[in-house]
Amino acid sequence: MSNEPRENIHGSTDPQTKTREARTGPGLDNRFNSKLREAFGSSPFILTKFDKFMNWVRGSSMFMLQFGIACCSIEMMHTYAVKHDLDRFGSGVPRASPRQADVMIVPGTIVSKFAPRMKRVYDQMPEPKFVVNMGSCAISGGPFQEGYNVIKGAEEVIPVDIHVPGCPPRPEALVYGVVKLQERIANGESSPVTVKPYELEQFGDLERDELVEKLADDIDEDTLVMRYNWADSP
Amino acid sequence: MSLEKHSADVGVTEDGVDYDELEALLGERVIDRETHLNAEGFVVRPDEVEGTLELLREEAGFDHLSMVTAQDYPDRYESIYHLTKYDDRTQEVSVVVPTDPENPTSESAASVYKTAEWHEREAYDLVGVDYENHPDLRRILLPETWQGHPLSSDYDQDKPQLVTLDEHVNPLAESSKDSESDTMFLNIGPHHPATHGVLHVKAVLDGEQVADVEPDIGYLHRCEEQMAQQGTYRHQIMPYPDRWDYSSAGLLNEWAYARVAEDLNDIEVPEYAQIVRTMGAELCRIAAHMLALGTFCLDIYGDFTAIFMYAMRDREKVQNILEDLTGQRMMFNYFRLGGVVWDLPEPREEFFAKIRDFIDDLPETLEEYHDLITGNEIFQTRTINTGVLEPEVAKQYGCTGPVARGSGVDYDLRRDDPYGYYDELDWDVVTEDGCDNFARLLVRMREVEESAKIISQCVDLLEDWPEDERNIQSNVPRTLKPDPDTEVYRAVEGAKGELGIYIRSDGTDKPGRFKIRSPCFNNLHSLEAMAEGEYVPDLVAALGSLDVILGEVDR
């Protein structure tokens, strides 16, 4: 039976070796050596809290969603490209699919037509996920804040960890923002979710008011909708 | 009327257009005449639009519909069709169509000019004019469920709105009645690396081939026209043009506003400032074309490869120069009405040396690009004879800029409607006859060379300019209040083509109507003509070769 121990498979009965040389055997190259590794000497173990280790891992290999909206995305591309090279900081792997990314940089103006789509992309990212707001538009609507169609910041739609101000911020500023985010993640600091309730609602669940009544014939009850109350937005 | 005259030449004279002859051509249809600063406007009845435009196109040769402007007055809605010619940009005419305010309906021009289809959809969306016989009058920039027309005067901006997140239905389904249709519907975007921003392409595939494609725009509609209408002429509008075409084409866009506002207010620009403007604008063109090249190759090769990095490296150099000149990397805000905001940076020799270095390196750089890109066999197979856009089709769609010039349409506003210092300099308009994706790329690469030529001539001029004649700005009144109901449409050659602005002043220090004609909007419309029958990767290549910037498509 497979759940019974088998006689012919067992751990090594050789005595534990005392030194690394003895363990790795002769003839291996020392490419895996490092000063740190030498310092550990014969007992190459470190003790840490699992959470701390995981946070360090999360902060040190961040996969960015390849996500361009507006002007800021040009500067974001420069941040990824030769001169500024975000990858140096362990956080510059652009992923085209939200399912492979854990950081979303929101580089640009979010308008009413795009907000539900952006929310859907955000929802498709695996946990834990982080959001960097890039530029004035993503923070507050920026120079377009008074427009009839402009969402006054990404925080109306998704929770945000870091805001990088500027119009657009220089690549250096974005690098700084991302590094700050890494620092916070590594320290296990997560930002409180300060957003208003942002879920998409089903049309049928909306409060019946004039607008809903007017659209009732055109929209299916189960259709997901986002409702903008422009008068109440900041 | 003399019958032996060549049919498309009615009204052509040595120095402009003979509007009386045009009026005679249109005859009874004209009910009134208006004078705009750029051209005469013929007022026609709303049910005479199609006939009027057809006459003007067929008999008088006005084959380029630049833009359709809609606006509402207290007593009427009005659509203005701005017409010009691909052969001679200086000949312009407007057709003004007033409709009654209760039921604003006028005839559609879509059967005469294909490009009117989108322009009229936009006019319907934002202003609320209803176009009869339009093949597909829907909202274009705002979501389908939007209530009201935001640029009409009775719009309440504080009203709540609903936006749905619908699955998209198969647009060909109704044509094939059985439920098991042969076509497949494919959404590309609005979040997709190949769409160059937030564009949604609804594609219907028949097997692997594209049967139907419809760009769905409006995911970056930032209300630019409203923003401009809320700003004062003197200072508050200039920052916005930078944000239309944000691929560092900022100065070119600023020039569009500067040109129209200077014409409207009769402002002179000192010669020195004109040269600085010309130089800055061409640097911007190089930056914009580099980005176009980098992202086009990104589409073809499908990854952040060396070519993209090379293009970004060269953009970085141009941006450094522009930063020295303007103080900003992207949103320059450098032009002022009547000139520029400040002089070249000190020490000037260092600045000129930096530009010279860049220009001197450019031939070698372009050689590299030719090695990497145009010489690559795979690249050629992917781009030659794909995304074909015939010149006549391009004209119907109102294409301009590298897209038109890649189809052999010799149209460039820098030469055809001279502004700035271009007509004093020695350079050529680049055209290619390939009509395909490859030709459009070649046009951009060759235009970079021409821009470099212009820049080096400007540097020569600026270097020798006497110190006490460096006038960067003329005298401009603190508050600009053009006469009420002055109307003007002016365009410049932006990085993507004809970038025009229509302004109607209402006697205050803010424009009464500010309408932007963006080249990308028209160019993107032509995607349907280029992509049908092609494979999906060719659709992506065609989209890349159009080099659309969604900020300018949606405005």
Q: Is A22 on the interface with B (CB under 8 A)?
A: no
Mean pLDDT of B314-319: 91
Contact indicator for B368, B313 with CB cutoff of 8 Å = no
CB A193 within 8 A of CB A159: yes
Query: Chain B neighbours among A 26-55 (CB < 8 Å)?
Result: none
Percent of chain A with pLDDT over 70: 79
Give the chain A residue nearest B333 (alpha carbons): A167
Residues in chain B: 555
pLDDT of residue A195: 47
Chain B residues with beta carbon closer than 8 angstroms to that of A149? 141-142, 150, 221-223
How far from the centroid of its chain's Cα atoms is residue A107's Cα?
Answer: 14
Task: Provide the chain B residues 277-316 that lie in CB contact (below 8 A) with chain A.
Answer: 291, 304, 308-309, 312-313, 315-316
The token pair that represents B508 in the structure block: 């205050």
- Rounded to the nearest integer, the mean pLDDT of chain B is 88
Distance, first Cα to last Cα, chain B: 44
Q: Cβ separation of B143 and A71 shorter than 8 Å? A: no
Residue B126, pLDDT > 80, answer yes
Is cis: bond before A168, omega within 30 of 0? Answer: yes
A123/B contact by beta carbon, under 8 A: no
B139 interfaces chain A, CB cutoff of 8 Å: no
Whether residue B191 and residue A168 make contact (CB cut-off 8 A), yes or no, is: no
Residue A9 pLDDT: 56
Share of chain A above pLDDT 90, in %: 18
B157 touches chain A (CB under 8 A): yes
The 10s digit of each residue's pLDDT in B2-42 is: 444 445 677 777 777 888 888 888 888 888 888 888 888 89
Burial classification of residue B354, based on how many CB atoms lie within 10 Å of its CB (0-12 exposed, 13-18 middle, 19 or more buried): middle
Q: Identify from B219, B247, B315 which residue to disrupt to test chain A contact, counting A C-beta atoms within 10 A and taking the largest count.
A: B219
Cross-chain residue pair B312–A212, CB shorter than 8 Å: no
Q: Could you tell me the pTM of the whole model?
A: 0.87
Distance from the Cα of A153 to chain B's closest Cα (Å) equals 13
First to last CA, chain A: 67
Q: Is residue B420 a contact partner of residue B255, using CB atoms and an 8 Å limit?
A: yes
Gap between the Cα atoms of B549 and B284, Å rounded: 15
* Residue A177 pLDDT class (50, 70, 90 cuts): very high
- Kindly determine whether residue B329 and residue A170, on different chains, have CB atoms separated by under 8 Å: yes
Give the pLDDT band of residue B468 (cuts 50, 70, 90): confident
% of chain B beyond a pLDDT of 70: 95
Answer with the residue of higher pLDDT: B123 or B180.
Answer: B123
How far apart CA A200 and CA A123 sit, in angstroms, is: 11
Q: Please name the amino acid found at residue B221.
A: H
The B residues from 329 to 358 touching A (CB cutoff 8 Å) are 329-331
With vertex at residue B294, the alpha carbon angle to CA A134 and CA B532, rounded to the nearest 5 degrees, is: 100
Upstream peptide bond of B239 is cis (omega within 30 degrees of 0): no
For A70-108, give one letter per residue: b (16+ CB within 10 A) or e. Answer: bbbbbbbbbbbbebbebeeeebbbbbbebeebbbbbbbb
Tens of pLDDT, residue by residue over B47-69, are 888 889 988 888 888 889 999 99
Report which residue type is found at B531. Answer: A
What pLDDT shows up at residue B5?
44
Half-sphere exposure (Cβ direction) of B212: Cα atoms closer than 13 Å: 13
Specify the higher pLDDT residue, B366 or B189.
Answer: B366
Euclidean distance between CA atoms B319 and B327, whole angstroms: 10
pLDDT score at B279? 93
For A71-115, the pLDDT digits (tens) are: 999 999 899 888 888 888 888 788 888 899 989 999 999 999 999
Nearest of B209, B241, B238, B264 to residue B38 by alpha carbon = B264
pLDDT in tens, A15-61: 555 666 666 666 556 666 667 777 776 666 788 899 889 888 888 88
- CB-CB neighbors (< 8 A) of A217 in chain B: none
- B 179-208 residues with CB below 8 A of A? 190-193, 196-198
pLDDT recorded at residue B32: 86
**Per DSSP, which regions of B189-322 are E strands?**
200-206, 209-216
Taking the CA of residue B549 and the nearest CA in chain A, the distance in Å comes to 9
Residues 6+ apart with CB under 8 A from B376: none
| pLDDT of the residue at B228 | 92
pLDDT of residue A123: 85
